[in-house]
Amino acid sequence: MKTSRITELLNIEYPIIQGGMAWISDANLAAAVSEAGGLGIISGVGSTEEVRAEIKKTKLLTKKPFGINIMLMRDNIDEIAKLVCDEQIAVVTTGAGSPGKYIEDWKKHNVKVIPVVPSVAIAKRMEKFGADAVIVEGMEAGGHIGQLTTMSLIPQVVDAVDIPVIAAGGIGDGRGIAASLMLGACGVQMGTRFLVSEECKVHENYKERVLNAKDIDTEVTGTSTSHPVRVLRNKLTREYIKLEKSNADPREIEALGKGALRKAVIDGDINNGSVMAGQIAGLVNKKQSCKEIINELMDELDLVLGRVCNE
């Protein structure tokens, strides 16, 4: 179980990455995770000036490595890709498209490139493009998802590529990290657990909804428009699914989701907003600082691995 492959690559203490989360993972959250020995990731979604300001703020808060998550479909992606080089960001994670055309430039600037992938074929393609590692995300995860589960996807990708594999989706405690390592991953990315951290900016209503969620409380919307998203069930998801089942115009369906994440994150409207969270929300039931979360995860991991090795 080689966690050193990822801690050495990213120059971090523990094999734990806080996943990029649009409108959520800002300088405060990312810096707190990096300061605690993991890798914090700010979101690269926003205007170029907003993202530049967030990078500068993160650099003031921590001297440790941090990353930026880039959604490749955004209009200002060329500018953000250049910003990554100008600001010499340690790590880029990418989603929603292929980072192929930017990889050479990023690597010239010593940026580690880690795409988030939902399948073996895309993982292999990213390795060919020169990615340093891949984050393999199962459909248990919160937010936009693929079709396969973490349990079945990780070992298949591990067998198919030579670069380090980081597991994401459905990991909420040290047992989840241990299981990921057993499947051949060398680290994990977590989103839902960090949503309720003290340093996370999401509205208290959002945090309470995640903390009170049960195992069966998530729903996948957007399957009919090929943009599946895992969220906690509420008035919005009921309306969304009703429209999807009635074969409504995809534009009407998409319009319902517009601005919905902001509504939940900033305004705390957990009835009409999009409360993105993963299936593991049912296990996440206490608010802690990022340092407490990471220390607890590593203690649990040691305990589980010790038990496995001694039995």
Ligand X SMILES: Cc1cc2nc3c(=O)[nH]c(=O)nc-3n(C[C@H](O)[C@H](O)[C@H](O)COP(=O)(O)O)c2cc1C
Supply the minimum distance, in Å, between the C-beta of residue 88 and ligand X: 21
Residue nearest to ligand X (CB): 191
CA dist 145 → 72, 74, 226, 248 (Å): 15, 18, 10, 22
Taking CB under 6 A as the rule, does residue 270 contact ligand X? no
Among 134, 148, 276, 293, binds ligand X (CB under 6 A): 276
Tokens of 277: 């969270």
Nearer to ligand X, 50 or 252 (CB): 50
Q: Interface mask (CB under 6 A) for ligand X, residues 98-117, using x and -?
A: ------------------x-
Among 92, 141, 243, 304, binds ligand X (CB under 6 A): 141
Residue 100: what residue type? G
The separation between CA 10 and the C-alpha centre of its own chain, rounded to angstroms, equals: 16
Nearer to ligand X, 116 or 131 (CB): 116
Contact segment (CB under 6 A) with ligand X among 31-39, 123-131, 169-177, 218-226 equals 169-177
Contact segment (CB under 6 A) with ligand X among 8-16, 122-130, 157-165, 166-174 equals 166-174
Taking CB under 6 A as the rule, does residue 190 contact ligand X? yes
- Residues 50-69 touching ligand X, rule: CB under 6 A, are 69
Taking CB under 6 A as the rule, does residue 189 contact ligand X? yes
Burial (CB count <10 Å: 0-12, 13-18, 19+), residue 228 = middle
CB atoms within 10 A of CB 262: 15
Strand partners, 43: 69
Among 3, 58, 180, 192, binds ligand X (CB under 6 A): 192
Q: Which residues bind ligand X (CB under 6 A)?
A: 19-22, 24, 43, 69, 71, 95, 116, 137, 140-143, 168-171, 189-192, 195, 276-278, 280
